[in-house]
C-alpha cells in the first residue's frame, strides 16, 4: 500500500502506539498522531504529524478529521492501570468508553470505514480454559476490562448498522522495546513485570515483589504470555491492511501461545543483566489467574502473522537496554 493511505492514530505518543506509528512510517504510510500527552511523549512520535488534543474535545476531533481525511483509524488512547480503574471507575468509563464513542462518531460522520481497536486479554477475566481462544466467554473482573469489553460490543453493533468494519486486537502481556533503541516504555507508574524487573536489575528499585508462590503451576508462580512490542506493531499493520483490502470485522488474540512463570522472568532478567537483585515473595493479588496464555492460531492463520521476536531473553534484553537510557527517577 502506498503513502497515499492516511492512518489516524490515537494515543500514538504512548508505549505501544509509538511503536505502531514508527512501523507505519517505515512502510511509507501517511500518519497523524492524536494524543493529549497525558502519558505520551512528543519525541516518541517518530513519523508524521502530531495533534495535541483530547478525544473528549469533539470539535478538535472533527477539525482534525476534516483536515487529515484518514482512510483508517488505529485507536490506542486509553487509561490502562487496573488498580487505578478499581479506585477511579468514572475516569475509566469516561476515557475508555465515552471518548471511544466520540471517536467512532467522528469516523461515521467522515466516512472512515476501517477501525483497529486496542483491546486486552482483561476482557476474559479469569478464563476457564488455557490457552484462551477468542471464543472464550467474556467475564472481565475490573473496570478496565469491562470498558474494553463494552467497546467491543459497541464496535459489533456499529458494524451491523453502518458501513464500518473493525478489528479488535486482544493483547496479552506486551513487553520489550524497539530493536533500534529509539522507543520503549516510559511510564513512571508502569506495573508490568518485565519493566519492574529491569528497573530492579539496574538499581532503580530496591527489590522486586513476587505476588503469590502457591499457584497450581510448575513453580508456584503465575504464568503469562509475553509478546514483544515490535511483533505487536506488525500485527496492527497486518490487521489494518486486511481491513483496507475489504476484510470482514474480526477479533484476534495477540500473544505467542506459550507462557513463562514469574520466576522464569526473574531468572531471565538476572541472566541478561548480570545482576542478582533482591526478590521478595509476598501474598497473592486478588484476581490474578494462575495462567493466562493466548491461543493465537486465528491471527496466524487469518493475517499470516509470523512473530519475529518470540524469545524471552531478547524481550528482556531490549527492555533492559531501553531502561538504561532513562533517568534514575
pTM: 0.95
pLDDT at 189: 79
CA 329 – CA 205 distance, rounded (Å): 9
pLDDT at 1: 53
In a domain, 131, yes or no: yes
DSSP character for 134? Answer: T
In a domain, 149, yes or no: yes
27 strand-pairing partners? none
Secondary structure (3-state) at 88: coil
pLDDT at 328: 67
CA 270 – CA 150 distance, rounded (Å): 40
In a domain, 248, yes or no: yes
236: closest CA among 12, 24, 35?
A: 24
pLDDT at 288: 85
In a domain, 167, yes or no: yes
Domain coverage including residue 27: 6-175+227-254
pLDDT at 256: 98
In a domain, 304, yes or no: no
In a domain, 281, yes or no: no
CA 247 – CA 7 distance, rounded (Å): 17
pLDDT in tens, 132-146: 999 999 999 999 999
CA 261 – CA 267 distance, rounded (Å): 10
In a domain, 109, yes or no: yes
Query: Euclidean distance between the first and final Cα of the chain, in Å?
Result: 42
Helix runs in the chain, H state only? 15-26, 58-68, 82-87, 89-92, 99-109, 143-161, 193-201, 229-244, 262-273, 297-302, 312-325
pLDDT at 75: 98
pLDDT at 230: 98
pLDDT in tens, 49-86: 999 999 999 999 999 999 999 999 999 999 988 889 99
Secondary structure (3-state) at 48: coil
In a domain, 313, yes or no: no
C-alpha grid cell, residue 192? 508490568
Q: Which residues are catalytic?
A: 144
CA 248 – CA 231 distance, rounded (Å): 22
CATH assignment of the domain containing 91 = 3.40.50.720
Total domains in the chain come to 1
Residues of the chain under the 50 pLDDT cut:
2
pLDDT at 83: 86
Size (the chain), residues: 329
110: closest CA among 179, 78, 64, 148?
A: 64
Amino acid at each position: 500500500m502506498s503513502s497515499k493511505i492516511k492512518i489516524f492514530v490515537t494515543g500514538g505518543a504512548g508505549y505501544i502506539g509509538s511503536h505502531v506509528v514508527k512501523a507505519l512510517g517505515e512502510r511509507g504510510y501517511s500518519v497523524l498522531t492524536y494524543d493529549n500527552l497525558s502519558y505520551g511523549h512528543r519525541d516518541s512520535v517518530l513519523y508524521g504529524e502530531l495533534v495535541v488534543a483530547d478525544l473528549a474535545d469533539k470539535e478538535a476531533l472533527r477539525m482534525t478529521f476534516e483536515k487529515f481525511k484518514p482512510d483508517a483509524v488505529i485507536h490506542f488512547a486509553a487509561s490502562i492501570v487496573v488498580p487505578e480503574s478499581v479506585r477511579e471507575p468514572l475516569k475509566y468509563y469516561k476515557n475508555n468508553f465515552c471518548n471511544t464513542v466520540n471517536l467512532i462518531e467522528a469516523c461515521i460522520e467522515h466516512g472512515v470505514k476501517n477501525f483497529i481497536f486496542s483491546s486486552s486479554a482483561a476482557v476474559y477475566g479469569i478464563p476457564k480454559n488455557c490457552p484462551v481462544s477468542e471464543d472464550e466467554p467474556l467475564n472481565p473482573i475490573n473496570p478496565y476490562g469491562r470498558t474494553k469489553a463494552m467497546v467491543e460490543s459497541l464496535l459489533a453493533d456499529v458494524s451491523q448498522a453502518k458501513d464500518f468494519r473493525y478489528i479488535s486486537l486482544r493483547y496479552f502481556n506486551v513487553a520489550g522495546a524497539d530493536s533500534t533503541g529509539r522507543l520503549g516504555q516510559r511510564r513512571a507508574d508502569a506495573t508490568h513485570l518485565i519493566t519492574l524487573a529491569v528497573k530492579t536489575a539496574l538499581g532503580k528499585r530496591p527489590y522486586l515483589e513476587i505476588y503469590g508462590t502457591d499457584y497450581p503451576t510448575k513453580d508456584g508462580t503465575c504464568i503469562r504470555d509475553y509478546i514483544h512490542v515490535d511483533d505487536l506493531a506488525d500485527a496492527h499493520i497486518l490487521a489494518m491492511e486486511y481491513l483496507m483490502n475489504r476484510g470482514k470485522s474480526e477479533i484476534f488474540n495477540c500473544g505467542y501461545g506459550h507462557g513463562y512463570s514469574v520466576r522464569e522472568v526473574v531468572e531471565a532478567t538476572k541472566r541478561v543483566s548480570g545482576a542478582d537483585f533482591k526478590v521478595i515473595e509476598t501474598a497473592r493479588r486478588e484476581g490474578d489467574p494462575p495462567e493466562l496464555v493466548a491461543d493465537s492460531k486465528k491471527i496466524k492463520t487469518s493475517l499470516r502473522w509470523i512473530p519475529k521476536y518470540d524469545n524471552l531473553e531478547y524481550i528482556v534484553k531490549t527492555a533492559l537496554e531501553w531502561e538504561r537510557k532513562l533517568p534514575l527517577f
